[in-house]
Structure 1
């Protein structure tokens, strides 16, 4: 009879130990999963609380705005009605005074005539009753006085149709018209018609993109505002028809709040503000190199103007290599001078001193006549000529990294950048091969003649 295998006590203990370790590992994993699950739920609870806070807070704020608006409207309408009533009462009083004055004068004249007639009657009656000896004198004096009074002359009293009969003409349709307007005055929306869609950091600024979320709202203009995180007042950054704007001159690593609203077509009032979004930039602003002969810089060093110094260097570089692939670099031409074939705007690997132009090795640029140069060689593609108001953009992305070996050091380099240069409504796209990988690039400009003025951002 064959012997059946039997587990020893030591083997059984080892097997149980492995099972315990497996269970312990599973328990640890379940505990970690439960912790993560709890953390996610707590995060969602926090989100719900924020949402509830936004709903209740915005509802309370909207109610206060409505109350204040209608109270001000009610006070304003009451004031206007009282002012109008006062003007109409004053007008009635003025007409009354002007109309009664001639009647008062006529009344005085008639009363004076009545008084004179009463006196004449008394004298006439006395003359008739007097004795024979006095009668001639008394009657003669009475007759003479009667002739002076002109008893056949009576003052003219105006007919009722010739004197004012005041009345008030009131338009009963005003109340119905006001009722109709009041019934349509104001509205409440659950969401603003415009919301911020994206905040993208840029050197020294933030690119703000927004979109319309109410299809029934026809936009005439947008309005973008921002404020520093700890500030109390918003500042206008942009008003216009575009749906994005680059807000510049922001301090890096500082939170800023952005909000946007819109004005409906044919309307004067602005819509409610979007939900404020927090954005910031970690990128230092683009600046031209200070103390460079031949160029005058603005206080923020983002504007450079070519001076009339003929002996100075022609190329002006950035203060440091602040252009990174994946960004958009923009040159805005603010003023132009005389054109020269060596004039150029672009980016380069090195800030070579003494260069006559950016049309050199390890650089890409565009000349003022629209020619594009790569490593000092002119391409066949050409862009529109540069003039005041022109904007030239550079966009780059890494599309290839190759290990540097002895076999390929001289036949293509180890870094390929996809470059897009835009000017006007055209752009050129090409691959720029470099003999080394680059993290960041200098930007620069070169002008021979004075008068050129360039903003970079």
Structure 2
């Protein structure tokens, strides 16, 4: 009987645990559903506000433009009227003056006719002289109606049709942005952001990536990348800090950007790669991720190693050359098991590297395959993955699959190690000054 009770108790416990897990899963789904509802309602509210704000500004701007155009046309009418009326006013003044003279002459003539015989001869003589002086046969010219302006306004009713057509096509509403963030991968001191189009009908000419701290609600997004690529490594991020990333696109032949994608939260738990300070012959940037080979020492320059073994298999390590000097066959960029060996090159045992002339070395031996020589702007990448254990002198060894890329070429080989290496140092060495390299 006790066995049956124990079984029932066990089944009950399992059922209770299953019910708890079921309830937890359902609660998580409810939370996700609430987040989805919040996104729909929140984005809808933001879209309404954006539409109202835009069309209110558009209405005000349109009214202002129409008023300015009306004022300009009225000013043209005023100017034409003023220029045309002036000669007419001048002509009217001349005619009115003549009418006054004629009235005065008529009065004088009538008075001369009414005067007595004793005065008549003098009055009539004076009147005749006055009439000759006025030149009664000379009349001012009055312009014909066809010769003076007839002001009119030409108004094209097609403007309303054009406005109606333009307004009917102005703006759009979409249920989702044309691009979305597809993946966020943590990298040392940064996050690799990948995105993709979700609207196949949208012809993207450029993409725009922005980011900001997630905890700083009032902070502004910063541009991280604008270009045609669908991925970008955002560097100089503080580890263990959440950042929000968003992306948008610009269509072919368009100037405006599309709506932003739904912001995604990403972070890195990996500290940024740093060069080791205090190595003779090298000057480091403030973040210690850029090293410059200077000419402060006349001795053969040693290898500049990383500050710690910060490269892990499965990651991509990149050296970007931002300035160059004279090449030497001992110049090296690569990774190694230890970062304390003295020497002037990484072309040694327990290291893999590539020279500035493109030669690849594994444990100090040059391979037959070669990469392009590095120039300003070149990026040399190292990718490694653990393949499997191999027998080695009566004990297990390790094999790393190494891929070194430079330009548009890659070299792939297996690197045999006696002991496992969870993390590796990286390093560089340049014989001549002028070389500058960024690591990330």
Q: TM range, normalised to the smaller chain?
A: over 0.9
Partner residue of 1:317?
305
Moved over 4 A (4+): none
Map 1:76-91 to 2 at 5 A.
76-91=61-76
Does 1:456 pair with 2:439?
Answer: yes
- Tell me the distance in 2 between the aligned counterparts of 1:430 and 1:247: 29
Structure 1 position 403, deviation (Å): 7.2
What SS class does the counterpart of residue 287 from structure 2 fall into?
coil
Partner residue of 1:190?
175
- Tell me the distance in 1 between the aligned counterparts of 2:189 and 2:144: 87
TM-score when normalising by structure 2: 0.97
Equivalent residues of 1:293, 1:312 under 8 A apart = no
Structure 1 position 86, deviation (Å): 1.1
Partner residue of 1:11?
none
Structure 1 range deviating more: 146-155 or 113-122: 146-155
What SS class does the counterpart of residue 53 from structure 1 fall into?
helix
Structure 1 position 139, deviation (Å): 2.2
Map 1:15-34 to 2 at 5 A.
16-34=1-19
Map 1:354-369 to 2 at 5 A.
354-369=342-357
TM-score when normalising by structure 1: 0.93
Partner residue of 1:381?
369
Map 1:219-238 to 2 at 5 A.
219-231=204-216, 232-238=219-225
Structure 1 position 416, deviation (Å): 1.1
Equivalent residues of 1:203, 1:285 under 8 A apart = yes
- Tell me the distance in 2 between the aligned counterparts of 1:416 and 1:360: 18
Work out which of the residue numbers 23, 45, 53 in structure 2 matches 1:60. Answer: 45
Work out which of the residue numbers 250, 265, 270 in structure 1 matches 2:237. Answer: 250
Equivalent residues of 1:223, 1:238 under 8 A apart = yes
- Cα deviation, 1:336-368, whole Å, max 9, x if unaligned, reads 111111011111111134311111111111101
- Tell me the distance in 2 between the aligned counterparts of 1:448 and 1:332: 18
What SS class does the counterpart of residue 449 from structure 1 fall into?
coil
Structure 1 position 90, deviation (Å): 1.2
Partner residue of 1:150?
135
Partner residue of 1:392?
380
Equivalent residues of 2:211, 2:245 under 8 A apart = yes
Map 1:266-345 to 2 at 5 A.
266-309=253-296, 310-311=298-299, 313-345=301-333
Partner residue of 1:51?
36
Work out which of the residue numbers 261, 265, 268 in structure 1 matches 2:248. Answer: 261
Structure 1 range deviating more: 102-111 or 242-251: 102-111
Partner residue of 2:406?
423
Equivalent residues of 1:305, 1:451 under 8 A apart = yes
Stretches of structure 2 lacking an aligned partner (at least 5 in a row): none
Stretches of structure 1 lacking an aligned partner (at least 5 in a row): 1-15
Structure 1 position 178, deviation (Å): 0.8
Partner residue of 1:172?
157
- Cα deviation, 1:220-250, whole Å, max 9, x if unaligned, reads 1111110011232101111110000000111
Equivalent residues of 1:370, 1:384 under 8 A apart = yes
- Cα deviation, 1:402-430, whole Å, max 9, x if unaligned, reads 577x624xxxx722111000001000000
- Tell me the distance in 1 between the aligned counterparts of 2:137 and 2:288: 103
